[in-house]
Amino acid sequence: MKHYIALTKPRITWLILMSTGMGYFFGLTGAVNLWALLHTILGTGLIASGTAALNQWYERDADARMRRTDQRPLPAGQMDHRKAFAFGVLLSVLGFVELGLGVNWLSAGLGLFTLLTYLCLYTPLKQISPVSTTIGAVPGAMPPLIGFAAASGTLTAEAWILYAILFVWQFPHFYAIAWMYREDYERAGIKMLPVVEPDGESTVRQMLFFSALLIPISLVPRYLDMTGNIYVVGTLIAGIAFVASCVRMSSDRTLLKARSVLLVSVVYLPVLYGLLLLDRPRF
């Protein structure tokens, strides 16, 4: 079972479910329906896990050439790739049906869109162009929309600003990872930005731009009356810390500085979500 669990990438899935839960709570118009929330989390978790399994099935040859992934079940020869494919398809279908029948078909459709764009656009583009990072950010930011649609049956400005925050956040986060593992990506033939432009100039420019852009975008929930002034102060502090970590990396493009950006990004999102919930005017 541990090999099947590894295919689902549980460390990433928890972040997806956290973002889905945020969307759900901000999509509520009344009291929390725990049964609907359970269906939302379960369905999204199944689709996310299925997508992760199918992604590892597709990239098993590339994973075998990278030190950070060569011990995954498929490249390590611990599992037959046909079983991994069947497992991924099964989880994805179950997740789609769970969302559709348990919640609504809008959330199920958004989940299916996420799976298709991730597997059919982002994954193959990684071998072709660094634009894959931008394409991948589209499905990567979908969880709040799925949660919001599950709670309200529609998508409003509040849903789209949660999407925008997660969309922009991904760029400095993933560029830090790409810089840390650029040699691995090069061996695997994955055209990440630090691979095609190894001096790092374009990478740090992108990190600085998107971390700075995140500050004004993260303040929009206050103007939509989604939260209060405590959130504004907290998210400003968090945003400035995020930018500062990218500034430090721009002048010293070392593994240590890239890891610092990654750690700040991992802390930033739960902090922002926590502030949103704690300073929310109504529940």
- CATH T-level fold of 1-155: Tetracycline Repressor; domain 2 (1.10.357)
Q: So what's the pLDDT on residue 283?
A: 47
* pLDDT less than 70: residues of the chain: 282-283
CA 166 to each of CA 39, 143, 273: distance values in angstroms, whole numbers, following the listed order: 23, 9, 11
Q: So what's the pLDDT on residue 11?
A: 87
pLDDT digits (tens, 9 = 90+) for 16-49: 999 999 999 999 988 888 899 999 999 999 999 9
Q: So what's the pLDDT on residue 282?
A: 60
Residue 250 one-letter amino acid: S
Q: What residues contact residue 82 under an 8 Å CB cut-off, 6+ apart?
A: none
pTM assigned to the model: 0.94
Q: Indicate the SS3 state at residue 26.
A: helix
Q: So what's the pLDDT on residue 251?
A: 87
Residue 35 one-letter amino acid: W
Residue matched to tokens 């072709």: 128
CA 152 to each of CA 17, 27, 31, 280: distance values in angstroms, whole numbers, following the listed order: 17, 5, 12, 17
Q: Where are the domains of the chain?
A: 1-155, 156-283
Nearest residue to 124 (alpha-carbon basis) of 168, 177, 68, 189: 189
Q: So what's the pLDDT on residue 178?
A: 94
Which contiguous run of DSSP H or E holds residue 231?
helix 229-251
User: In 104-228, which residue ranges form alpha helices assigned H by DSSP?
Assistant: 105-117, 123-125, 132-140, 143-152, 157-180, 182-188, 193-196, 201-223
Distance in angstroms (rounded) separating the CA atoms of residues 77 and 60: 10
* Residue 184 tokens, joined: 């691995």
- CATH T-level fold of 156-283: Four Helix Bundle (Hemerythrin (Met), subunit A) (1.20.120)
Q: So what's the pLDDT on residue 280?
A: 85
**What interhelical angle do 105-117 and 34-58 show, nearest 10?**
20
Nearest residue to 20 (alpha-carbon basis) of 1, 38, 2: 38
156-283 matches 1-155 in CATH topology: no
